[in-house]
């Protein structure tokens, strides 16, 4: 570009100067088409596409971009597939109709039964066009859906492996990838001593598409080992998968003794990340449960633990939740242990159990994690974080033998709701004698409010022969009767708190 200067001369401008800016750079080229997935030798398949269906029609049209090979999908005739909820007019939300229909409401006071639950369409491929774009399915859509997720259903493939008798030590190894499943995967008595594993809990993922429900379960599969994979659920605020009366859980061991579970993760499920039901001596290590949605009313079950069991050791297991939830419990059991467990916004319980050992729990409670919705919230502000109780009757006989809580570390970062409530630490009820709390601390980082029901109540025991030693509660007292540590009977030794109260003549404070 040429222009005159102030002396009438002519001056050549450098590119980018004057009234004509340089042209913008060209847009980046579009990404190349995706490479089509291949089926694994076991039959597992990671195929996941997007598609649409009309109400009452069994024709599925793939709306995803074609793969690099020109095909729109790699499904085959006979494939089990899932058309997930979410593309319907109701968007798969609670109380609407899903592409596969509904789970009918059964009002009984339970929030999750109060309205119909939309469900996915689980069906098979009958015909398919040469380019994989148009599929005829065995079943029609109940309502129209647009741009829904379409998944290959791996559940029948895996379940088919489990109906064959194999010798103990038989190993089932699953590859890296995200595999859709439309129902529960289980093992039965044929599977004693089997080893079922993935490539790693963050590498092998079994995904429940929206509108599906499922779990991993064992029944009388003694000595089975499960490891190195994860289950990705679909429980969100306002939407979740239900099948009949089934709630999504992680791994549940049913009448399965000496099971081993390690390096497993459960995401966005209702309850029971890893649970031993009438199963003795389970060993559970390095497992985690991660949830995002607030659970409603009485669906307040636990994520790790056992019921009606002998033994059982859970080591380095964690719960991560944005809201206060039940975390770890032994229920009418004898001799269970939690070691180096804990997490964010989770609680601990021993319900009518004994000879337990809870060692080095580490828990953080964040502010405003108990919304003020009593009818919908499973966590009442009077619930303690460590609840040693006898709620279920009859209890296990071992409850009279007591248990130990060692080197616990709980931090309450602030008030849990807008009423300025804090949360109780350890509560031991009158039916639980011989409990020893040794070492550890409960720290309140906010002061107790004068009008609140709960202050910095770190420990309260009404059980006989409670021994508390080398234990610290950090937090204020609102008056001379607002005790941080209260013990009715037993001994309080070398403990630190603003106010400590040995109530009865059977309590010794040193």
Q: Which two tokens stand for residue 86?
A: 């979410």
The residue whose two tokens read 């204020």 is: 476
- The Cα 306–Cα 251 span in angstroms is 12
Q: What is the pLDDT along the chain (510 residues), one digit of tens a residue?
A: 444 454 555 555 555 555 667 888 888 877 778 898 989 999 999 999 999 999 999 999 999 999 999 999 999 999 999 999 999 999 999 889 999 999 887 777 777 777 888 999 999 999 999 999 999 999 999 999 999 999 999 999 999 989 888 888 999 999 999 999 999 999 987 778 999 999 999 999 999 999 999 899 999 999 999 999 999 999 887 777 776 556 788 999 999 999 999 999 999 998 899 999 999 999 999 999 999 887 775 455 799 999 999 999 999 999 999 999 999 999 999 999 999 999 999 999 999 999 999 999 999 999 999 866 555 566 788 899 999 999 999 999 999 999 999 999 999 999 999 889 999 999 999 999 999 999 999 999 999 888 889 999 999 999 999 999 999 999 999 988 899 999 999 999 999 999 999 987 888 888
213 touches 178 (CB < 8 A): no
Contacts of 417 (CB under 8 A, 6+ apart): 368, 370, 371, 372, 381
The strand pair at 134-137 and 121-128 is best described as antiparallel
Q: Which two tokens stand for residue 218?
A: 């064992």
Contacts of 296 (CB under 8 A, 6+ apart): 111, 112, 376, 377, 378
| pTM (predicted TM-score) | 0.91
CA 296 from chain centre, in angstroms, equals 14
What is the secondary structure of 453-467 as a DSSP string? S--S--EEE-STTEE
The gap between the terminal CA atoms of the chain, to the nearest Å, is 93
299 touches 323 (CB < 8 A): no
Q: SS3 for 14? A: coil
- The Cα 488–Cα 486 span in angstroms is 7
- The Cα 501–Cα 14 span in angstroms is 85
C-alpha torsion sign, points 220, 223, 224, 226:
positive
Helix (H) or strand (E) holding 157: helix 155-161
C-alpha torsion sign, points 110, 114, 115, 119:
positive
pLDDT of residue 2: 46
Buried b (16+ CB within 10 A) or exposed e, 54-90: eeeebebebbbebbeeebbbbbeeebbbbbbbbbbeb
3-state helix, strand, coil in the chain (%, to 5): 5, 40, 55
- CA distances 229 to 17, 120, 177, 251, 508, Å, are 59, 24, 10, 11, 50
Q: Angle CA(358)–CA(354)–CA(277) in degrees, nearest 5?
A: 85
Q: Angle CA(131)–CA(132)–CA(137) in degrees, nearest 5?
A: 140
β-strand partners of 239: 236
Phi and psi angles of residue 101, each rounded to the nearest 5 degrees, phi first: 110, -150
316 touches 330 (CB < 8 A): no
Q: SS3 for 447? A: coil
For 195, other C-beta atoms within 10 Å of its C-beta total 17
Contacts of 433 (CB under 8 A, 6+ apart): 400, 402, 463, 464, 465, 466
């Amino acid at each position: 570009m040429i222009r005159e200067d102030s002396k009438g001369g002519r001056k050549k401008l450098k590119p980018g100067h004057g009234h004509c800016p340089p042209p913008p750079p060209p847009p980046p080229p579009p990404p190349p088409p995706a490479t089509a997935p291949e089926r694994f030798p076991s039959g597992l398949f990671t195929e996941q596409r997007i598609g649409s269906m009309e109400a009452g029609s069994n024709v599925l049209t793939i709306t995803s971009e074609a793969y690099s090979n020109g095909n729109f999908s790699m499904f085959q005739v006979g494939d089990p597939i899932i058309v997930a909820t979410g593309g319907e007019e109701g968007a798969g939300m609670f109380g609407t109709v899903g592409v596969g229909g509904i789970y009918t409401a059964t009002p009984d006071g339970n929030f999750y039964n109060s309205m119909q639950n939309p469900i996915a369409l689980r069906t098979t491929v009958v015909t398919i066009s040469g380019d994989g774009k148009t599929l005829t399915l065995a079943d029609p859509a109940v309502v129209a859906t647009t741009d829904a997720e379409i998944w290959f259903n791996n559940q029948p493939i895996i379940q088919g492996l489990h109906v064959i008798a194999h010798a103990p030590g038989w190993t089932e190894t699953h590859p890296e990838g995200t595999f859709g499943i439309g129902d529960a995967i289980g093992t039965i008595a044929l599977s004693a001593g089997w080893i079922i594993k993935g490539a790693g809990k963050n590498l092998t993922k079994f995904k429940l598409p929206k509108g599906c429900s499922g779990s991993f379960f064992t029944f009388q599969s003694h000595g089975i080992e499960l490891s190195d994979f994860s289950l990705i659920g679909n429980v969100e605020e306002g939407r979740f998968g239900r099948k009949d009366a089934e709630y999504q859980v992680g791994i549940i061991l049913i009448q399965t003794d000496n099971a081993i579970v390690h390096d497993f993760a459960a995401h966005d499920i209702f309850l029971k990340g890893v649970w031993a039901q009438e199963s003795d001596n389970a060993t559970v290590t390095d497992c985690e449960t991660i949830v995002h949605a607030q659970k409603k009313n009485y669906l307040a079950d636990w994520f790790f633990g056992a019921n009606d069991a002998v033994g059982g050791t859970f080591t380095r297991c964690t719960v991560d939740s944005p809201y206060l939830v039940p975390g770890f419990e032994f229920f009418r059991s004898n001799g269970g242990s939690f070691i180096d467990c804990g997490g964010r916004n989770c609680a601990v319980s021993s319900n009518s159990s004994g000879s337990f050992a809870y060692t080095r729990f580490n828990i953080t409670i964040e502010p405003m994690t108990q919304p003020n919705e009593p009818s919908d919230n499973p966590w009442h502000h009077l619930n303690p974080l460590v609840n040693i109780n006898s709620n279920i009757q009859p209890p296990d006989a071992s409850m009279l033998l007591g248990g130990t809580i060692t080197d616990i570390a709980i931090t309450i970062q602030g008030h849990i709701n807008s009423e300025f409530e804090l949360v109780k630490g350890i509560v031991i009820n009158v039916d639980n004698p011989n409990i020893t709390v040794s070492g550890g601390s409960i720290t309140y980082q906010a002061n107790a409010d004068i009008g609140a029901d709960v202050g910095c109540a770190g420990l309260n025991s009404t059980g006989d022969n409670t021994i508390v030693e080398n234990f610290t509660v950090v937090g204020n007292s609102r008056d001379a009767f607002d005790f941080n540590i209260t013990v009715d009977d037993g001994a309080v030794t070398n403990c630190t708190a603003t106010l400590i109260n040995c109530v009865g003549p059977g309590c010794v404070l040193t």
